[in-house]
């Protein structure tokens, strides 16, 4: 079965942290400190919950955790069946200098494949580990290539993985069969141009469900004959059109395939395709009102877990197979629920909301389909009372053309509309992403310091259907920027903030938005649409400012995918028109710029050229570059330095 089910969202401060080079005003600012009765920034940033839990056959489990400041793999042994604090014993299994990017456990629980890369460059290597002895053996060692495990063979004898080791711009598919002593052999099963992945393999091992990802709105699904190499398309899509389609897996008997697709009404829904007749049906029409986050089947093909995206909240559903009858779920607090391992009638799942940072549970259904739930992970709160954390308000505002935009708004305790406070508008990455009401220590710290935080989902965001997601493609790029400025307009009109006391903030595509919204804000003043700027500062983390140079220098395997979203390099005139660097004279507020030196997605040159352009114009600018990070920031020390200086930057600008 496919190993990934993505229900997560990029949130402010979740993985951003910088150290290293400093340039500009405030570079030596002291760290933000607490008082005897008020938690410090260090306490906030150290709040954590062990992640990615996987139960082992003996009742212990594996987790990915960072008690030493960087993610590694840990073995956790319970006491009296409990993983509660004071009872569980942790043992570190890996010591990668730049951390463990992830891992996957075999169906029988006897093997682990580790994912790790150097310095944030995302060239993920694969290593086999024996979870009992800790012994390791390389599967793929190529520092210039990126690999990912797509699925395990049902008997745990091997894996299917994708890698761009042969062609840097293309991901081929390989079958890796383990041998005695930890060695193994890789066999290429598909070598075609494009970004390919696998979702499931038939019980007899002769057929593979594979996908060719072209863009967020165009993915083609095939059944591959491993023996002949023949591909048979099984995509659920409109006639003559495209769809965001993905195979969940073969249903029991391997005669039907369960897929997700946005072919119907533009919302990601579940479909069943009969392989003999080609007939397509919808097994759960009651879920058609909202878009799905994703779905996964158990290894035994007897259970199905589905997460429904309801205005950004993730709501779980579990069904028996192949009759699709609902099973009772334990009562779950409102937030974003993510499905993990599903095996032996047991589902590992996590709940993430503003006060619960990804707590994990295991729910097991007995023969009468009655659930019993056990908590697996517990939060390390650092003495901070998470129950006092601000809960977000879901709001909706009208954009410049009447389009409705959803956003989450966090405000400090005691805030009253009509009494404005300094506000941060945090734009998510992607752009095919969604801001969701999940836990963020950085957001909560900002709120504790008197800031409000708004997380808008401008056009182009996922979670609201295909049409909305494609409203910012190519020539419509700047429309999403207008949505971002309209967020600040709403804050002012609604009594949350005042002009000049709002900052933009964003990472990756959110960094593009952060800078571009400052441009659009000034252009509205110049066009006499209003008298003053709304934004008084901006924070750009690993962001794009020159779309042409970004596309030229991003990793080759990403270029084709990003051209489909931003526009092709063959249209340099348009790319220049939406590049903030070419309208830099409109940026007239202090900037805080941060980047990872090894970023393979948005090259560090984007940060440098912005900083140089602003310095030439004498705009107050701070630049931070982390020499040991990539696209985002994983190491606690880096996050602490960055967040401290970022908070001080906001205090010295919009909070004055």
Better-scored residue on pLDDT, 2 or 22: 2
For the chain, the residue count is 656
Cα 221 to Cα 208, 251, 278, 565, distances in angstroms? 11, 16, 13, 20
CA 555, CA 553: separation in Å to the nearest integer? 6
Give the mean pLDDT of the chain.
92
Q: Percent of the chain, pLDDT > 70? A: 95
CA 591, CA 646: separation in Å to the nearest integer? 10
Q: What is the mean pLDDT of residues 203-230?
A: 96
Predicted confidence at residue 556, as pLDDT, reads 80
Whether the predicted pLDDT of 225 surpasses 70: yes
Of 399, 515, 390, the closest CA to residue 456 belongs to 399
508-562 residue pLDDT tens: 999 999 999 999 999 999 999 999 999 999 999 999 999 999 999 888 888 877 8
Pairing of strands 502-507, 535-541: parallel
- C-beta of residue 332 within 8 angstroms of C-beta of residue 295: no
Whether the predicted pLDDT of 2 surpasses 70: no
263-285 residue pLDDT tens: 998 999 999 999 999 999 999 99
Whether the predicted pLDDT of 5 surpasses 80: no
pLDDT interval class at 400 (50, 70, 90):
very high
Cα 59 to Cα 7, 56, 503, distances in angstroms? 26, 6, 48
CA 376, CA 82: separation in Å to the nearest integer? 8
Q: Please classify residue 380 by burial: count the beta carbons closer than 10 Å to its beta carbon, then call 0-12 exposed, 13-18 middle and 19+ buried.
A: middle
pLDDT interval class at 12 (50, 70, 90):
very low
Q: What is the mean pLDDT of residues 64-73?
A: 97
Structure tokens at 141: 């060692």
332-370 residue pLDDT tens: 889 999 999 998 899 999 999 999 999 999 999 998 999
Predicted confidence at residue 288, as pLDDT, reads 87
CA 481, CA 516: separation in Å to the nearest integer? 6
Predicted confidence at residue 632, as pLDDT, reads 87
Pairing of strands 325-327, 313-320: antiparallel
pLDDT interval class at 163 (50, 70, 90):
very high
CA 590, CA 538: separation in Å to the nearest integer? 7
Predicted confidence at residue 25, as pLDDT, reads 30
Predicted confidence at residue 36, as pLDDT, reads 52
477-493 and 509-526 are packed helices; what angle lies between their axes, rounded to 10 degrees? 70
Q: Percent of the chain, pLDDT > 90? A: 86
Structure tokens at 351: 């709940």
Structure tokens at 436: 């969701």
């Amino acid at each position: 079965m496919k190993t990934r089910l993505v229900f997560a969202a990029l949130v402010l401060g979740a993985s951003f942290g910088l150290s290293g080079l400093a340039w500009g005003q405030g570079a030596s600012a002291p760290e933000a400190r607490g008082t005897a009765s008020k938690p410090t920034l260090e306490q906030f940033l150290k709040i954590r919950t062990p992640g990615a839990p996987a139960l082992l056959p003996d009742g212990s489990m594996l987790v990915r955790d960072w008690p030493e400041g960087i993610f590694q793999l840990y073995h956790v042994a319970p006491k009296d069946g409990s993983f509660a604090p004071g009872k569980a014993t942790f043992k570190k299994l890996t010591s990668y200098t730049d951390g463990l990017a992830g891992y996957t456990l075999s169906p029988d629980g006897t093997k682990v494949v580790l994912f790790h890369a150097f310095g944030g460059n995302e060239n993920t290597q694969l290593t086999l580990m024996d979870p009992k002895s800790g012994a390791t053996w390389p599967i793929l060692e190529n520092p210039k290539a990126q690999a990912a495990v797509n699925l395990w063979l049902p008997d745990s004898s091997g894996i299917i993985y994708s890698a761009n080791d042969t062609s840097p711009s293309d991901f081929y598919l390989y079958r890796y069969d383990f041998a005695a002593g930890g060695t193994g052999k890789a066999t290429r099963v598909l070598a075609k141009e494009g970004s390919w992945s696998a979702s499931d393999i038939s019980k007899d091992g002769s057929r593979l469900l594979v996908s060719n990802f072209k863009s967020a709105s165009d993915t083609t699904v095939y059944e591959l004959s491993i023996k002949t190499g023949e591909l048979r398309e099984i995509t659920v899509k409109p006639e003559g059109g495209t769809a965001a389609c993905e195979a969940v897996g073969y249903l029991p008997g391997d005669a039907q395939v369960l897929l997700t697709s946005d072919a119907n009404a533009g919302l990601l829904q579940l479909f069943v395709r009969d392989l003999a007749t080609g007939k397509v049906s919808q097994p759960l029409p009651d879920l058609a009102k909202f878009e799905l986050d994703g779905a996964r089947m158990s290894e035994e093909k007897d259970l199905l877990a589905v997460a429904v995206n309801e205005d950004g909240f993730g709501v779980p559903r579990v069904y028996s197979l192949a009759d699709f009858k609902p099973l009772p779920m334990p009562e779950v607090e409102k937030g974003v629920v993510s499905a993990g391992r599903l095996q032996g009638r047991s589902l590992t799942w996590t709940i993430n909301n503003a006060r619960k940072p990804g707590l994990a549970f295991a729910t097991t259904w007995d023969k009468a389909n009655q659930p019993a739930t056990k908590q697996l992970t517990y939060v390390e709160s650092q003495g901070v009372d998470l129950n006092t954390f601000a809960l977000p308000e879901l709001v909706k505002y009208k954009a410049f053309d009447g389009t409705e935009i959803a956003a989450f708004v966090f405000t400090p305790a005691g805030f009253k509309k009509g009494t404005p406070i300094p506000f941060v508008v945090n734009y998510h990455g992607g752009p095919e992403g969604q801001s969701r009401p999940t836990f963020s220590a950085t957001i909560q710290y900002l709120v504790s310091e008197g800031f409000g935080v708004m997380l808008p989902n401008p056009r182009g965001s996922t979670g609201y259907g295909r049409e909305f997601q494609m409203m910012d493609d190519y020539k419509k790029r700047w429309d999403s920027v207008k949505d971002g400025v309209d967020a600040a307009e709403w804050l002012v009109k609604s009594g949350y903030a005042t002009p000049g006391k709002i900052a933009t903030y964003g990472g990756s595509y959110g960094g593009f938005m952060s800078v571009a919204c400052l441009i659009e804000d000034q252009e509205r003043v110049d066009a006499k649409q209003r008298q003053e700027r709304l934004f008084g500062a901006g924070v750009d983390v690993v962001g794009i400012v020159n779309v042409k140079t970004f596309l030229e220098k991003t990793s080759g395997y990403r270029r084709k995918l990003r051209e489909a979203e931003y526009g092709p390099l063959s249209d340099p005139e348009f790319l220049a028109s939406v590049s903030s660097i070419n309208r830099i004279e409109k940026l007239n507020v202090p900037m805080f710029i941060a980047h990872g030196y090894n970023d393979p997605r948005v090259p560090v040159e984007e940060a440098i050229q912005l900083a140089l352009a602003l310095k030439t114009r004498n705009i107050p600018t701070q630049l931070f570059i982390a020499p040991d990070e990539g696209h985002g920031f994983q190491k606690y020390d880096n996050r602490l330095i960055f967040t401290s200086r970022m908070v001080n930057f906001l205090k010295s600008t919009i909070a004055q």
